[in-house]
Amino acid sequence: MPDAFIPKHPVIAAYPKMADAFAEAAEIAAYLKEKGLDAPTGSLYNEDLRKRIKKREFDMLIAVGGDGSVLRAGHLCAPSRVPILGVNLGRLGFLIQIDRKDWREYFEKLFNGEAWIENRMMLHAEHIRAGENMGDWNALNEVVVGRGALLRPVRLTASVDSRQLTSYVADGLIASTATGSTAYALAAGGPILPPELRNILLVPIAPHLSVDRAVVLAEGASVSITVHSENAVLSIDGQPSITLMEDDHVDIRAAEVTTQFVRFGDPGYFYRNLTAHMNENSIGLPR
């Protein structure tokens, strides 16, 4: 088992658009107070709180919300190597072990030294136009090059380690982490990868008379997606899209930073969490 992790300076960040997030955060803060820990509480979007997190004033962030909240927390915390503990108020919670009704039980385990830190790979994406870097980002789930508002497919070429892999005529192409394999990539028909893998997964979206299979790249490989259409956009972890032009390319590799999560139990938690969600979604369906 990995080394035990016990935080000394936690902070609580609530997702402001989710009902009951601040009330739940206040209960967690009161619990921590009983343990002798003063944990500042605020919105995940509060700039003062975000600056303090970036300065590494805290050694753990408790994200109260859903998977989207944890995803945003990952972008915030990864550069400062601040581990994230999610408390799920949402529906799915693929990224979160702890449900709102169970957090007291898990927090007791936390302070008994039964938690450990899991590192998950992120992607680094660069948007290149005529040799100029137009922007770069880190993604925990996926980088997507897809069609914009026009209802017609885009033409893309994917190269791996500077060697052309294949061309696509499709609604788009997803470059996913193992974490993202249970997100958009799964909906597009990709395989589920265990979270410890550091491989990039390529999944086409609604391909038309072109390669329709997902490809798992070797660990350490990089991919470059070149646009051959005028209606393509770039999206990082589902954030607002960026317009791409013909001949633009998006270069993707493993990021230098990782997102750190506070976990409980053995690493097999991932499969138990996954099967629980699948069984939940199958309730009421014909067998």
**pLDDT tens digit string along 131-181?**
999 999 999 999 999 999 888 999 999 999 999 999 999 999 999 999 999
Residues 271 and 166 in one domain: no
Residues 105 and 140 in one domain: no
Residues 276 and 247 in one domain: no
Distance of alpha carbon 43 from alpha carbon 69, whole angstroms = 11
Q: To the nearest whole percent, how much of the chain has pLDDT over 70?
A: 95
Task: Tell me whether residue 1 is in a domain.
Answer: no
3 given a catalytic annotation = no
pLDDT over threshold 50, residue 18: yes
**Global confidence as pTM:** 0.92
CATH number where 15 lies:
3.40.50.10330
Q: To the nearest whole percent, how much of the chain has pLDDT over 90?
A: 86
Neighbour count for residue 213 (Cβ, 10 Å)? 12
pLDDT over threshold 50, residue 284: no
Distance of alpha carbon 220 from alpha carbon 153, whole angstroms = 30
Residues 82 and 110 in one domain: yes
Counted domains in the chain = 2
CATH number where 157 lies:
2.60.200.30
Residues 130 and 80 in one domain: no
Distance of alpha carbon 97 from alpha carbon 244, whole angstroms = 37
The confidence score (pLDDT) of residue 199 equals 98
Q: CA 171, 175, 176: angle at the middle one, nearest 5?
A: 120
pLDDT over threshold 90, residue 282: no
**Range of the structural domain that residue 277 is part of:** 10-114+265-282
At residue 1 the predicted structure's pLDDT band, cuts being 50, 70 and 90, is low
Distance of alpha carbon 163 from alpha carbon 157, whole angstroms = 11
Distance of alpha carbon 112 from alpha carbon 135, whole angstroms = 44
Q: 235-263 pLDDT, tens per residue? A: 999 999 999 999 999 999 999 999 999 99
Distance of alpha carbon 27 from alpha carbon 251, whole angstroms = 44
pLDDT over threshold 80, residue 277: no
Residues 88 and 157 in one domain: no
Answer for the pair 9, 82: CB distance below 8 angstroms, yes or no: no
Residues 203 and 132 in one domain: yes
| Lowest mean pLDDT, pick from 96-100, 126-130, 251-255 | 96-100
- Which two structure tokens, joined as six digits, stand for 281? 């979604």
Among candidate residues 20, 38, 48, 67, the one labeled active-site is: 67
The confidence score (pLDDT) of residue 283 equals 47
At residue 273 the predicted structure's pLDDT band, cuts being 50, 70 and 90, is confident
The predicted model gives 27-51 an average pLDDT of 97
- Which two structure tokens, joined as six digits, stand for 130? 């005529």
Q: What are phi and psi of 133, to 5 degrees?
A: -75, 115
Q: Which of 100, 121, 277, 263 is nearest to 197 (CA)?
A: 121
Q: What are phi and psi of 275, to 5 degrees?
A: -65, -30
Task: Tell me whether residue 3 is in a domain.
Answer: no
The confidence score (pLDDT) of residue 267 equals 75
Task: Tell me whether residue 287 is in a domain.
Answer: no
The confidence score (pLDDT) of residue 4 equals 87
- Alpha carbons within 13 angstroms on the beta-carbon side of residue 234 total 26
Distant-in-sequence, close-in-space partners of 66: CB < 8 Å, separation ≥ 6? 15, 18, 88, 89, 90, 91, 92, 93, 96
- What integer best gives the mean pLDDT of the chain? 93
The confidence score (pLDDT) of residue 287 equals 33
Residues 54 and 157 in one domain: no
Residues 38 and 92 in one domain: yes
Answer for the pair 215, 223: CB distance below 8 angstroms, yes or no: no
Residues 142 and 239 in one domain: yes
The confidence score (pLDDT) of residue 234 equals 98
Task: Tell me whether residue 167 is in a domain.
Answer: yes
Residues 126 and 240 in one domain: yes
Distance of alpha carbon 122 from alpha carbon 131, whole angstroms = 24
The predicted model gives 58-74 an average pLDDT of 96
